[in-house]
Amino acid sequence: MEQVNRGISGLTWTAIVLTAIGAINWGLVGLFEFDLVAAVFGSLSVLSRIVYVLVALAGLYLLYAASQLNKRARV
């Protein structure tokens, strides 16, 4: 039987949300020199560093997911 993917996985949605948070944060940094993550969790605190790493991993995951979608579209 052929498996049909019906929607976006929870992991992908989480990666999208984290990447959007990162994009908004970088927009605030670029426009207003305001780092929202640092304001909420402290400048280079353990929590803010975890958020930065999670955003980076989410972005890398989305690059991987996009390449997989591209491969499926070619089949």
DSSP states along 5-52: --S--HHHHHHHHHHHHHHHHHHHHHHHS--HHHHHH-TT-HHHHHHH
Give the chain's mean pLDDT: 91
pLDDT in tens, 25-48: 999 999 999 999 999 999 999 999
Would you say the pTM of this structure is higher than 0.85?
no
Q: What percent of the chain has pLDDT over 90?
A: 77
- 10-32 helix and 46-74 helix, angle to the nearest 10 degrees: 120
